[in-house]
Structure 1
């Protein structure tokens, strides 16, 4: 299934200045899932339609110019309000005066977030009348964009147009080998243009990629643009400091074939994994409201769990990384978590537990919105505050903050977790404070 569907009908571009613009003038309809992103209210024609009439060259050129950022740069607290980030990720910044929808793309590990909003294109007197968001597979998103660019490039060639910036840039991207791809992905993940780096900057990108290794995909969305080498060093120190914080979970639980590793959406996988884990631990609907209860649930005493959740100092320098997970052997895992209060520490440990159940490699807990982080957060929420148990206790249609606070106390989690569980599972409607 396509992440984005581009329906194109080439039109006569006579009178449009610029051969590449005239050649690629077309009717364009963009669809994401069941939503039409190009649905517009044409004020002049007094019609509502699903397509816009624009040259496609500027859109293809914008996609190619920001190719690596769109595929590998994540949105986070550090760049969310940065105008340069918006320039790289908001399609409307490449409109060049034409009626393009207001769509924003950002990477989330192996996923891509697509968000679109209403927009008034005053010059054309067109009002885009669609808003929404979806999360799609990154590889499918890249393929759909690639197919669109190929179509525009082929149109230029068919019209005898060569040597444009779009064509040369696209040829370079298509010629990228595996090593160059890893370099471009790392550079873009750090918010840097892989084609516009001096030698010291290239060296830095190579060092970051080498230091992070298999952790790169999860680490980059959580790193700021400044001093990435220091952040990489802190991650490695956290891995070392985590070694003594081990706990034996047992081969029958770790990587068990009875535990699901995926579902149609990462949060759904997290929910299902938590339900299966509760069954394996024999919880049978029992709540885990204290650290002692959590220790007992996983078959250990409080001292063992306290040791496993001891804060590691090096994480204090990293604002967006909350923990590391280090599988030691087929039965034992070491954890390194950020210092937090008791309630938050239990939640963090359960996020780490989700990673222990689904990977045999080192892993990170971050504040990014990647597939893995969505999954481990959903696991922790469902493991500590099962949606079925919440549904049993909520007999009203509307839930206010007082009830959420009471439920948070009962379940031993934050009000934030309770609110998200209620909302995400459709248990009731939340009343704003």
Structure 2
């Protein structure tokens, strides 16, 4: 378990409004074994393990951003986050004249992902934070929430002890606790956040439309689609989802073996997905061989002729699988290129296995980095191009021509092969991680 913890010692310093003055503290933030608030005090020329700041602005930012922090994922790769998204996810937005670490928080629905970099050495500030994270840290969402709650409560207890009660933070935290305890309010706030809005900022008209769509396709599916077609999308209307649903598709009845690893909930999404892909291959008696189109599409109840003839009617940001009668699905892919279409249908196969077809859940495939999408991508990659088989094929030759041969052999894209090799440490790249295999999803501090 990766540690996420605020630690502090109350201090007396400066003059300000009571909430800020009474919560001055030597504050540290531990993510795993890294203290993101270890710093160099420029004026004192001293290295310190904590920063002298007020805990109140940070607690307020965490409370104000609570819903979006916990339920709004990163935008898709290539979409620059809007200012309001950054204000809800970057700790620097706590502001109030204090210097904060350059750290970014974004949920993938199961884990809180944290990116951090050291302060710029040339920054003209009173202190310089020394530590960053070599790769994104993943904190179980419940552990993140627990750490934030403990910090906010400690700030409120401090204010209560010094006679500063009924503050904005206290009132806001009571409201958040009440909404979290009420299922209807909780679902409303969650959906607002997934659409990219702060509490009560989303229009009533849009929320009514979103709630109707949720009843139609289910909460889990809309949670994957809302961030794609919500506020941060260039396609800002939820009508696009309805258009995809109404599009022609490929009708098939999936036929997959029962896989014991499909029910596993331990480990990170990509690890579970790899195990499931390997188990599925084992059940097909094809541990390392090429999965041809007939075998792949047959698992979804489709024929190669159907898929080859398929062309999307519009450019979309999501592919879906719509459950019908007698266990049938209407698949609406979004890719036209044969290799991209093959990979996308493998992702939908992984999504079908992941959901175990419970209550005929809708399937969704997007460019987001939610845990569900990470699972799909990892499943599709391992199922179509097992890393062990890829290593055997390449024989330690990672040249461009060898990789080209591998893409042709396994019928996958060069991008996917390079990603597999990077993620398994077989070729060097400064880029790591799942979004979008980069150290940072965008440049912090500007």
Give the shorter-chain TM-score range.
0.7 to 0.9
CA distance 1:248–1:278, shift in 2 (3 Å) = same
Question: Aligned ranges for residues 113-152 of structure 1 at < 5 Å?
Answer: 113-120=113-120, 122-132=124-134, 133-152=136-155
What per-residue deviation string (whole Å, max 9, x for no partner) do you get for residues 192-213 of structure 1? Answer: 2223355445544544544443
CA distance in 2, matches of 1:339, 1:107: 27
Q: CA deviation at 1:428?
A: 3.5
2:37 is matched with which residue?
Answer: 38
CA distance in 2, matches of 1:197, 1:258: 40
1:83 is matched with which residue?
Answer: 83
Name which of 212, 235, 242 aligns with 1:233. 242
1:94 is matched with which residue?
Answer: 94
Q: CA deviation at 1:71?
A: 1.2
CA contact (8 A) 1:7 1:29 kept: yes
CA distance 1:130–1:416, shift in 2 (3 Å) = same
Name which of 240, 256, 260 aligns with 2:259. 256
2:251 is matched with which residue?
Answer: 245
Q: CA deviation at 1:426?
A: 2.2
Unaligned runs of 5+ in 1: none
* SS class of match (2:246): helix
CA contact (8 A) 2:320 2:364 kept: yes
2:274 is matched with which residue?
Answer: 271
1:109 is matched with which residue?
Answer: 109
Query: TM (normalized to structure 2)?
Result: 0.84
Q: CA deviation at 1:179?
A: 0.7
1:175 is matched with which residue?
Answer: 178
CA contact (8 A) 1:260 1:273 kept: no
CA distance in 1, matches of 2:184, 2:115: 31
CA distance in 2, matches of 1:12, 1:370: 42
Q: CA deviation at 1:94?
A: 1.7
Unaligned runs of 5+ in 2: 432-446
Query: TM (normalized to structure 1)?
Result: 0.87
Name which of 185, 195, 201 aligns with 2:200. 195
CA contact (8 A) 1:79 1:85 kept: no
Query: RMSD of aligned C-alpha atoms?
Result: 2.8
CA contact (8 A) 2:259 2:280 kept: no
1:307 is matched with which residue?
Answer: 306
Runs of 4+ in 1 over 6 A off after TM superposition: none
CA distance 1:105–1:387, shift in 2 (3 Å) = same
